[in-house]
A and B are shown apart, each in its own frame.
Chain A
Amino acid sequence: MFKRKLVVLINAIRHLSGDDAYERYLAHHAQTHHDEIPLNRREFFKQEQERKWSGVRRCC
C-alpha cells in the first residue's frame, strides 16, 4: 500500500520535472507515427528544450 503510493509520488515528480519526457515521447510516437524512426534521447532533449523556452515560461 505504502509502496504503491511511493511509486505514484515518484512518477508524479518524474512527470512534473520532465524526467520521463522521452519515455512519453516514445509512447506517443509508437501510437501515432509508427512508420517513422523516433529521435534518439539526446536529439529529443535538444529539441524539447528549444521548444520549451521559446515562449513565456516564467513570471515575476
Chain B
Amino acid sequence: MPKKLLPLILWISIAVLGAAAMGGIALSRGESINAIWFIVAAVCVYAIGYRFYSAWIAARALTLDETRATPAERINDGRDFVPTNRWIVFGHHFAAIAGPGPLIGPTLAAQFGYLPGTLWILIGAVLGGCVQDMVTLFFSTRRNGRSLGQMARDELGPIGGAAALIGTLMIMVILIAVLGLVVVNAMKHSPWATSTVFATIPIAIFIGLYIRNIRPGRVLEGSIIGVALLLLSVTGGGWIAHSPALSGYFDLDGLSLAWFVIGYGFLAAILPVWLLLAPRDYLSTFMKLGTVILLAIAIVILRPEVKMPALTQFIDGSGPIFGGTVFPFVFITVACGAISGFHSLIASGTTPKLLSNERDIRMIGYGGMMLESFVAIMAMIAATVLDPGVYFAINSPAGVVGKEAAEAVATISSWGFPVTVEQMNELARQMGEATLFARTGGAPSLAVGMASIFGSAFGQGMLAMWYHFAIMFEAVFILTTLDAGTRVGRFMLQDLLGNVWRPMGRTSWYPSVLITSAAIVAAWGYFLYIGVIDPNGGVNILWPLFGMSNQMLAGIALSVATGILIKSGKLKYAWVTGLPLAWLLIVTTSAAWQKIMSEDVRVGFFAAANDLAVKLAAGALPPDTATVAPQLIFNQRLDGWLTLFFVLVLWVVVLDMLRVAARHLSDKPVLPVTESPHIPSRLVEDWVRD
C-alpha cells in the first residue's frame, strides 16, 4: 500500500535523524558540536512526541470527542466564552504561558554542561510538561473552564482545593521575587540598561493613554508605535550612557534598584490596568514573539558552535552558580522549560473558554508547551555558545569567585575554563557595559549570547545595541509578569480575606486594594531585598526555591488529573499522568530533602544559616557581610521552613488523591465526577459519530 508507505518512510527517517542528532549531542566529547544538531534533535523529538504520543493520549487516554459541544459553543457569551479559531487560541495560549522562566532556567542549568539540561528539556517536555498542559486543558474544558483550584476542590475535596490555592499564592510570591532580582542584577551599575528599562514605563503609560483616549481600542496601532518607541529607547539609553552629565543619574546600586522595582510593583498593582499593565503587556507580547522568531532564524542562519562541554565537573554539586548535584537540581533549575506547574493555571480558566472544538486541545495544550520547550532549547544554545570561561565569569557571584577581576579569572581558569581580564574587558566594551563580572541571574549572559548570535547573523557592528535590546526585551516581559503576578496575588488574597471579613473581598474597594497589594508586594519585596544584599547574589537561593514551588504546583495539577482519570474508570491510563507525577515527587522531595538536611553550606539552608551564625559569633566575617549576616541567617532558616512547607503541601495533595483513588477502586463513595453533560456540537459540519 503505497499510500501508507510514504508516511511510514517519512516517520522512520525522522526517528533515525532524531536519534542520530540526540546521539551526536550525547556522545560528543572533546570536540565542539554545532548548535544546529540541538535544533534537529529537538524538532525530531517534538515531531515524534506530537504525532504519536499526543495522538494516543487524545484518542485513548482522554478520548477527545469532536462531536461534543465545548463550553465556548454552549455558553458563547461574547466575552469569556467565545468559540475561536484554533490558531488564534494557540497564539493566546502561547503568549500566556511563555515567560522569562524558560530563558533563565536553562541558562543557569548550563553550569552542568549542555547535556543534562538539554536532555531534560526535551524528555521532560514530551513526557511531562506537554502532557500536563494537555490533560489540564482537557479536564477544564469538560468542566466549563473551571480553574485548577476549583477542580481540585470538586474532585478531591477541600484539602486538595486549599493546597492548590495556597500553593499558587506562594509560587507567585517567590516567582516575582526572583524575577525582580534578575532585572535588578541586569540593571545594576549599567546606565544604559537602567535608562532603557526606565523609559519603558512612560512609553507603556503613553500607549495606555493612546489606546484608551486618543484612539480608543486601536490596539495594533498603539502597539506598533510603542514597539518603535521601545527600539528608540535602546538607542536613547546608549546616548545617555555616553553622556557624562546624564549617566550618573542612572548608575544605581542594587538596593536602590530593588526599592525602585518594589515601588513600581506596588504602583502597578493599584493603578488601573489600562494605564500600565495592559499596554505593557501588548508591547511585551510583540517583543517576545518577535525576538523568539528572530533568535530561531539567527541560529539557523549562523549555526554557531557550542563551546560548553557536554558535562562539567560541577555535576558533583560544587557549581559556582548554584550549589547542588546534577540530580535533582538540573530538574529543579530547568523547571519551566520542561514542566511548568504555572501552565496549569492558564490551561484551566482562560484557554478552555475559547476552544471551538475538543480536537484542538491536542495542538494547543501539547503543541503550545512544545514551543515553549523549544524556547528553552534556544536559551540553552545562547548560553553554551559562549566561551565557558566567559559564561562562568558573568554568572558566578562575587561571593564565590572573588570581587576583584584578577581573582575571579584566576579562580575560573583554575577550573579548566580559561578566561582573561582583557577578554572580559573587551567583551564588556563591545557590549557597552563597564563590567560583565558577576552579573548573576541569567539575563546578562543570555543577552551576551543573543547579542553574539544576532551580531554574527545580522552584523557585528551593533553588539552593544543587540545586548541592550536583549536586556530590554527580557526586562519588559519580566516586569509584565511582575505586574500581572502581583495583581493576581492581590485578587487571591482578597478572595481569602473576604471569607474572614466580607468587605475585604470586594475587589474594587480601595482600602482592601491598598492593604492586599501592599501585603503581596511586601512578601516578594522581602525576598528581593534579601537577594540583593546577599553577597552570593541571591539567585542561588531563590531560583531553586522557585523551581521547587513550580514543580510542586505541577505535582498538584498532575495529581488532580490522575485522580480524575481513575475516578472516570480509566485506571489503565492513569500512568500517563501518574508517571510524570511520580518523577516530580522524587525530584522535588529529594531536592527539598537536600535543601533542608544537607551539611553542605552551599546546598542546605539550615547548614548555611548555622555556619554563618558560628562565623558571625566568632567575628570571622568581613565587616560588610557581618552587618547583613543576621538578616541572611533569618532568611536561610525561613527558606528552609518554606521548602518543608512546599514539599508537605505536595505530599498532602498526592496522598489525598491516592485516598480518593483507593476509595473509588474499592467501591466506596467519593465525590462524583463533575464533567458537564454531553451536548452534541452544532459547529461540526461533518457528523462523524462513533
Interface of A toward B, CB cutoff 8 Å: 12-19, 21-22, 24-25, 28-29, 32, 41-42, 44-46, 48-60
Contacts and interface: CB of A to CB of B under 8 A. Distances in A.
Contacts of A54: 491, 507
A53 B85 contact: no
Interface stretch (B32-40, B111-119, B213-221, B555-563): B213-221
A12 B89 CA distance: 11
Contact of B220 (A17, A32, A41, A44): A17
Contacts of B221: 19
3 closest A-B pairs (Cβ-Cβ)? A28-B78, A60-B101, A19-B220
B550 to A, nearest CB: 7
Contacts of B540: none
Contacts of A13: 220
Contacts of B487: 53
13 contacts: A13-B220, A16-B92, A17-B219, A17-B285, A25-B78, A42-B212, A46-B274, A49-B273, A50-B273, A52-B278, A57-B281, A58-B485, A59-B336
A42 B220 CA distance: 16
Interface in B341-376: 342-343, 345-346, 349-350
Chain B interface mostly helix, strand, loop or mixed? helix
B588 interface: no
Chain A interface mostly helix, strand, loop or mixed? helix
B211 A45 contact: yes
Nearest to A14: B220
A59 B340 CA distance: 9
B220 A58 contact: no
Nearest to A13: B220
B384 interface: no
B484 interface: yes
Interface in B209-242: 211-213, 216-221, 223
A34 to B, nearest CB: 13
B219 A60 contact: no
A59 B96 contact: yes
A60 B481 contact: yes
Given A59-B342, A59-B343, A60-B481, A17 B175 contact: no
Contact of B96 (A19, A32, A57): A57
A52 B82 CA distance: 13
B91 interface: yes
Given A15-B85, A15-B88, A60 B216 contact: no
A12 B87 CA distance: 9
Contacts of B211: 45
B577 interface: no
B80 A57 contact: no
Contacts of B175: 60
Nearest to B104: A60
Interface string B105-135: 0000000000000000000000000000000
Nearest to B284: A58
A51 B273 CA distance: 10
Given A32-B78, A52-B278, A55-B350, A60 B336 contact: yes
